[in-house]
Structure 1
Amino acid sequence: MLIWRTQVRWAECDVAGIIYHAHLFDWFSESRIQWLMAHDLDYYKILRPRGIELLVRHAEAQFFHAMHPGDLVAVDVELTGLSPTRARFTYRVLRDDITQQETSRGMTEHIFVQQGHASRVDRHNPDLFARFQAAYSQSQ
């Protein structure tokens, strides 16, 4: 698990001053990029230079409590599913204060794509798949 921290910005909110739901997926993306970096799978320095993308196959989110500009937020991201062709990440969004109140949670499922085609990472990049497996094993 990795914790990525941010603060709700006014630009992320709707006219009512509540975070606009689509920005939660931006937080998922940013936290996932940090997770990859922390596990020696840097998206911009390792995966993309090899032509590997993690394309979103499915994404979902649940909302429990509103967030407002200035709120401090911690996003817990974890790799919770792995196969040679897919990876699944789950996210918990918490207030980064004394309450640690869970405001939302979500999941993204990704397909490994290389050079524009679905790819088995274990066959075409076994060293990278081994890194994913090691990270996945740590979270179990």
Structure 2
Amino acid sequence: MIDVVEEKRVGVARVRVRYAETDQMGVVYHSNYLIWFEVGRVELIRSMGLNYKRMEVEEGRGIAVVDVHVRYRAPARYDDELVVETRLLAARGAVIKFGYKVLRVEDGTLLCEGQTVHVVVGKDMKKQSLPPKYAARFAAYLDPRSSDVQ
């Protein structure tokens, strides 16, 4: 069993594999990892003291996925408890990059790792800058010298 140490610069989300998320071979269907990446990403943003939903509603901006890289290392199975570790890797202008690791809690096995690249867009789906409050918080998270981390 792994001990999950919540570092300030790593978002941690727990999920349990549901039966519907497995395929005929009894393992998690590959696209479910992308859903768990999203869960991790939203939790990381929340841990920063920010709210993604509020950014969409009040600021009129979203973060569209434009690139995904995933490396599957070992299968997850029904009822496994998993930890999704999410890190902010880069945020510059309208581009944001996140990194992920999915581990099985029981034995600490790395099941999957990946990265997503996002572009900040308005409701018209045209590229826009990250709202100032979000840009400042992301910059603080990326600066290892910063103490402005929630």
TM-score of the two chains, using structure 1 as the length reference: 0.90
For residue 26 of structure 1, report the CA deviation from its aligned partner. Answer: 0.2
Aligned residue type for 1:78: R
Q: Deviations over 1:91-115 (max 9, x none)?
A: 0011112x21101101100001123
For residue 41 of structure 1, report the CA deviation from its aligned partner. Answer: 2.1
Where does residue 42 of structure 1 map in the other structure?
A: 51
Alignment partners' CA distance in 2, 1:114 and 1:138: 30
Where does residue 126 of structure 1 map in the other structure?
A: 132
Aligned counterpart in structure 1 of residue 26 of structure 2, from 17, 29, 34:
17
Secondary structure at the aligned position of 2:77 is classed as coil
Q: Deviations over 1:58-107 (max 9, x none)?
A: 0121111111101110010000111011110000011112x211011011
Where does residue 53 of structure 1 map in the other structure?
A: 62
* Equivalence map 1:97-136=2 (5 Å): 97=106, 99-116=107-124, 117-121=126-130, 125-136=131-142
For residue 33 of structure 1, report the CA deviation from its aligned partner. Answer: 0.8
Secondary structure at the aligned position of 2:108 is classed as coil
Q: Is the 8 A contact 1:7 1:73 kept in 2?
A: yes
Q: Is the 8 A contact 2:91 2:135 kept in 1?
A: no
For residue 139 of structure 1, report the CA deviation from its aligned partner. Answer: 9.4
Change (3 A) 1:139 1:82: farther
TM-score of the two chains, using structure 2 as the length reference: 0.84
For residue 132 of structure 1, report the CA deviation from its aligned partner. Answer: 1.4
Deviation >3 Å, runs of 4+: none
Alignment partners' CA distance in 1, 2:145 and 2:37: 18
Aligned residue type for 2:97: R
- Overall identity of the aligned pairs, in %: 24
**Which one has a larger percent helix, Structure 1 or Structure 2?**
1
Alignment partners' CA distance in 2, 1:118 and 1:32: 20
Give ranges in structure 1 of 5+ residues lacking alignment: none
Q: Is the 8 A contact 1:79 1:139 kept in 2?
A: no
Alignment partners' CA distance in 1, 2:16 and 2:121: 32
Give yes or no for the alignment of 1:28 onto 2:55. Answer: no
